[in-house]
Structure 1
Amino acid sequence: MRLFLSTIQWLVFILAGSLVAPLAVGNALGLPPEEIASFMQRTFLLIGVSALLQTLFGHKLPMMEGPAGLWWGVFVVYAGLIASGSLALSDGLRQLEMGMLITGGLFLLLGAMGWIGKIRKLFTPLVTGTYLIILVAQLSGSFMKGLFGIGYLTDEVDVRVALPAFGVLLIAMLLPRSRFGFLRNYSVLISLLAGWLLFIALGIAPEVLPAPSAFDIPGIFEWGLPQWDAGVLPTSILIGLLLLANLIASIAVVEKVVAKSQPDMPPVDYNRTSLIMGVSTALGGVFSAMGCVPISGTAGFMLTTGLVKRLPFILAAAGIALVSFFPPVTAVLTSLPMPVGYAVIFIPFASMIGLALREYQSLQGGDRDFFIIGVSLMIGIGSLFVPAQAIAHLPGLIRTIANNGLVLGMLVCIVLEQLFIYREKAALRGKDGTSGSR
């Protein structure tokens, strides 16, 4: 029974964290409801398969996979080009398939060459802590809009949605602190079921769309064969390098949480993880879905529920993949009210601030580290408030970085820290040279 409930809770967390991106992208692209449902179906398959591959053969951590925010951004950029009439929908979708195939090949190359271990050295506690704070800041806007019901039934704050959503959030905050072990361990599952039933009772839950068939195998290249375009290659390489940085930072966070309860856990093989990431990203192109990455929010979920064992997660990942073959089940799951999903996973994501502060506690650089943190957070969080249209005229490479505060802040942190380290080493070499000449 314990294994079953733990598996269901993992399933709920994966589901709640995976619905927003494909729904938002499908609507941005102007896809009809039946194609959005098919897109969701293929995304579920990719999420489940990617998680299984990584947990069994890659990093081997119980770590949720989900649509990458960077790919989300790229899809939205293409949606803008399509809406403006400068790119046909079919061409844009086929170019996105090609982009994921190229990025997958880059991950395979980096993993095969064994370069990931060297890159990982850049991700110090200073960088990881900064990454987590900017990540929460970036997500906080979406969470608050979701809780206030903005974009759910109307484009304004909706009291009918906000009151029950914040009620669910209150339940999600109180259950992990209950004196009853059952309520603490399964707080995410209980909160989601209670919220879903509440929204149904109030008549504000989405209707379940009719499924075209009871069983359906997700197809490959549903958008057509991949299409080459000169702009796809540099964009794909940049996205791959940025996703690699995201991958390393996310795994480092989850690895530390798991290590607390499993101190004998073997270290993560990052080169092997990159190989699996290459396979799963390429599968995103093959299945016409969104490329997936390990989600650092898993660490917050583990801290909230205490679930760190692999077996329940493996079963949940297999369940998500299996669901994709049954459109009626997919239709029911996609009827989950998004405000409830935001309320349920609010606490796991908010707890990542605590993880960031623990990373900072291990620092000993003093004023130097405070300076780097301040500059990185100002630039990273500040860029989140720059309107997308204000940088639309910039070259694609610069626009991709400037449009993502998380990546920009993390890159600034890495560069500043490495510059300070180089400067300090140079000063030491200078002193040694002076001493030697004397």
Structure 2
Amino acid sequence: MIHINWLRSGLAGLQWLFFLFTNTVVIPITVGAAFALPQDKIQFLIQCSFVLTGLACAAQAGFGHKRAVMEGQSGLWWGVILSLATAAPSLGISLTELGGSLAVGILISGAITILIGLCGLAKPLSKLFTPGVMAVFMFLLACRLNIIFLEGMLGISSGSSAEDKVIQPLIFLLAAAVAIFVVILSVKARPVIGQYALLIGILGGWVLHTLIFGSTSDASNAGTAGTDWFPLGAPSDGLNAGVVTIAIITGLINTSNTFGALKGTDQLYERETSSNQYKRSFTISGVLAMISGLLGLVPYAPYVSSIGFLQQTRIRDRMPLVTGGLLFAAIGLVPSISNVLTTLPLSIGSAVLFVTYLRLLGSSLQYFGRIDMNAANLYRTAAPLFTGIIVMGLPSDVFVSLPPLLRPLLGNGLLVGILLALLLNQVLSSSPRSRLSPRMNTKGEQP
């Protein structure tokens, strides 16, 4: 019986390893490409991402909130960082200045997150993130990230040359085929196979891409990455107050992931998240954010998508997550494996994640389902939702007439929509008819 339990725990840990890999591997590659980093620095980001993500999951499961919830690089932060990198030239900001400014803002936001945890401010802060705000947040996050993924599937990179901005039809056809295959496998295959659909899609698409288009880089020439503080840009390269402000605001909004993930698992664990669990979770996330700022990584948060993973596997024990996390960290310490992973085609990774984050629509609709759509609630959800989408669709050049301090903030549709949702929620909350319907729980999904 003991051997059987260890075998089940090991297999469950392997499942977590696959889940961590598919949710992490594309993030440092896309960030490195957006900042035009050389191959050795992208490898450094990948190795650090693997090690820190694995240790983060083990720390949260063992000492933080003590639940089987992945701690990973935040999708909100990821979208904001890539949006700023894309808009930087039109905003008159160099990539090194952007990287240095982000590092300072991330360090400050990490310190604030630690204070939120240590001072017990999580409970009062959670009241700001009503179902209406969370609905807007989930929907706009899905829009922002899936725009990035669709561009990757189309073969559109973040480079500055004309060729980087042109659709590559053959690359898109392969990426679209991979996306369709992952959807069919997830929906039609048996659960024992369907739960590995993302991994199968990445590996299969990677092989096909290599056979058709050749390798994307020469992994054998990538040496062992050394420690390199501020790889995206150092604070000494210049600071932009607007970018620092956006980073601090993003850090505060990023707390919504913690509330969504932990509240969403209350039903699975049959008890509400305690104040001490929030304190420990926020403190660890804040420490991870400060480390991320030093290493040029996307800051961390609990993944709401862990809820769907737990429901599918029906394994709530923490030990498999700890096992998978430690294995993931070990992979990051082996340069030969990390070197190979730098050759993952962005179009294939984008196709798989495009499928994954389509599920954010369901999370958003669940939050919308908890709202009594009277006049007040209609306006305070529709206004930020449409405003955010419209701002996302505007070319970055239209914001050059704004003061430099406001360009990065007002030019980001995701942040504009969420901030407007928070503002209108407070302004219209006094309406006697703006109460939320009590139906439906807080289940949702986040990368």
Interval containing the TM-score (normalised by the shorter chain): 0.7 to 0.9
Aligned to 1:192: 202
Number of aligned positions between the proteins: 422
Pair 355,150 (structure 1): closer, same or farther in 2 beyond 3 Å: same
- Aligned residues of 1:257 and 1:302 also touching (Cα < 8 A): no
1:400 equivalent in structure 2: 408
TM-aligned CA deviation for residue 279 of structure 1 = 0.7
Is 1:161 paired with 2:171? Answer: yes
Indicate conservation of the 8 Å contact 1:211/1:327, yes or no: no
CA distances 1:124-181 after superposition (whole Å, capped 9, x unpaired): 1111111111111112212222223333996433332222222222221122223523
Judged with a 3 Å threshold, the aligned counterparts in structure 2 of structure 1 residues 186 and 104 are, in CA distance, closer, same or farther, namely same
2:439 maps to what in 1? Answer: none
Q: Which amino acid aligns with 2:202?
A: L
Q: Structure 2: how far apart are the matches of 1:390 and 1:363? A: 35
**Separation in 2 of the partners of 1:238 and 1:272?**
25
Displacement after TM superposition at 1:241 (Å): 3.6
In structure 1, the partner of 2:107 is 101
**SS in structure 2 opposite 1:422?**
coil
CA distance in 2, matches of 1:174, 1:305: 19
Inter-CA distance 350–289: structure 2 relative to 1 (3 Å threshold): closer
Are the counterparts in 2 of residues 102 and 237 from structure 1 also a CA contact under 8 Å?
A: no
Superposed CA offset, 1:63-97 (max 9, x none): 241156547745875898799998694x7755554
Deviations 1:216-270 (A, max 9, x none): 6x5263659964799567754652343222222x233333543443324644733
- Structure 2 CA distance, aligned partners of 1:49 and 1:261? 24
1:225–1:394 distance in 2 versus 1, CA, 3 Å: closer
Aligned to 2:287: 279
Q: CA offsets per residue over residues 304-327 of structure 1, 9 Å max, x none?
A: 766655333333332332222221
1:149 partner amino acid: G
Aligned partners of 1:222 and 1:287 also within 8 Å: yes
CA contact (8 A) 1:300 1:351 kept: no
Unaligned runs of at least 5 residues, structure 1: 427-438
Deviation of 1:328 after TM superposition, in Å, equals 1.2
2:258 maps to which residue?
251
Could you state the TM-score of these two structures normalised by the residue count of structure 1? 0.81
Specify which of 9, 18, 23 is matched with residue 24 of structure 2: 18
Residues 116, 279 of structure 2: 8 Å contact kept = yes
User: Which position in structure 2 is the counterpart of 1:352?
Assistant: 360
Alpha-carbon shift at residue 118 of structure 1 (Å): 0.9
Match of 2:299 in 1: 291
Structure 1 residue 316 corresponds to structure 2 residue 341:
no
**How far apart are 1:330 and its partner, in Å?**
0.6
Within-5 A mapping of 1:6-405: 6-61=12-67, 62-66=69-73, 69-70=76-77, 73=80, 77=84, 89=96, 96-151=102-157, 155-178=165-188, 180-210=190-220, 219=227, 221=229, 227=235, 231=239, 235-236=243-244, 238-248=246-256, 250-264=257-271, 266-267=273-274, 269-299=277-307, 309-395=317-403, 397-405=405-413
- Cα distance change on mapping 1:184 and 1:384 into 2, 3 Å: same
Q: How much has 1:7 moved relative to structure 2? A: 3.7
TM-score (norm 2): 0.80
Distance in 2 (alpha carbons) for counterparts of 1:261 and 1:239 = 33
**Mapped partners of 2:314, 2:411: distance in 1:** 35
**CA distance change for structure 1 residues 237 and 317 in 2, over 3 Å: closer, same or farther?**
farther
CA distance in 2, matches of 1:361, 1:224: 41
Identity of aligned residues (%): 24
SS state at 1:65 partner: strand
| 288-297 or 102-111: bigger deviation | 288-297
Change (3 A) 1:25 1:382: same
- Provide closer, same or farther for how the CA distance between residues 84 and 231 of structure 1 changes in structure 2, counting only shifts above 3 A: closer
Q: Whose Rg is larger?
A: 1
- 5+ residue gaps, structure 2: 1-6, 435-447
Superposition RMSD in Å: 3.7
Contact 2:376 2:433 in 1 (8 A): no
Q: Distance between the aligned counterparts of 1:288 and 1:45, measured in 2? A: 14
Contact 1:45 1:324 in 2 (8 A): yes
Label 1:52 to 1:247 Cα distance change in 2 as closer, same or farther (>3 A): farther
Alpha-carbon spacing, 1:7–1:335, altered in 2? closer, same or farther (3 Å): farther
Distance 1:2 1:407, change over 3 A: farther
